[in-house]
Amino acid sequence: MAAKLKIGVIVGTTRQGRFADKALEWFEPKIAAREDLDYEVLDLRDFALPMFDEAAPPAAKPVTSPAAQAWEKKLLEFDGFIVLTAEYNHSLPASIKNAFDYAFKGWYRKPLGTMGYGGVGAARAVEHLRMIAINFGMVPVRGATTIGGADFVAAMQGKPASEWGDHLDAPTTEMLDDMVFWGNAAKAAKG
């Protein structure tokens, strides 16, 4: 059996009162139950990245910000990432884009999964995120978890994560299976 993949679960919004904490509460037991994955939560609040202000992108020149250097070093520990994202104004939150802008090697040739939430399940944010990931040579996986519509409204009105229902389980399992497949394929290709 292949060694477990280590997946970084990125909590992508940093604002007070964010829904991301509820999404993470629902998601963590799903990924923790996997025997083929280990994971670590990477909350962007904990990294305090400044807004991108470097002389060149990290693919061309190392960053100078100590926080960004620590971020890149942390990303290098993982075989892939799952981003929990809201949708702000038909796109992803600036905090996520900024986190991508401040690294390169840590993202390179790894799978990316998504868990989107909002009125339309963050569909437009997820599509933008997938295009950004491709720029880093990442493999955006097909499977995804989306919490939208009535599910999102009920959760916002206080429905506990434990009562969201099992209809989200199949797409979440598909995403995690995709992360394992592409994570192992990427590791094997890198040698």
pLDDT of residue 159: 92
pLDDT of residue 162: 86
Radius of gyration of the CA atoms of the chain, in A: 16
> In this structure, are residues 67 and 49 in contact, taking their beta carbons and an 8 Å threshold?
yes
Q: Around Cβ 26, how many Cβ atoms within 10 Å?
A: 21
CA-closest candidate to residue 129, choices 120, 141, 119: 141
Cα 191 to Cα 189: distance, rounded to the nearest angstrom = 5
pLDDT of residue 77: 97
Architecture of domain 5-190: 3-Layer(aba) Sandwich (3.40)
CA-closest candidate to residue 23, choices 124, 164, 132, 166: 164
Cα 73 to Cα 91: distance, rounded to the nearest angstrom = 27
Each of the 191 residues of the chain gets a pLDDT tens digit; together they read: 568 999 999 999 999 999 999 999 999 999 999 999 999 999 999 999 999 999 999 999 999 999 999 999 999 999 999 999 999 999 999 999 999 999 999 999 999 999 999 989 999 999 999 999 999 999 999 999 999 999 999 999 999 988 888 999 999 999 999 999 999 999 999 87
Question: Where exactly are the structural domains of the chain?
Answer: 5-190
pLDDT of residue 2: 66
Buried b (16+ CB within 10 A) or exposed e, 97-130: bbbbbbbbebbebbbbbbbbbbebbbbbbbbbbb
pLDDT of residue 168: 93
pLDDT of residue 165: 83
Instruction: Kindly report whether the global pTM for this prediction surpasses the value 0.85.
Output: yes
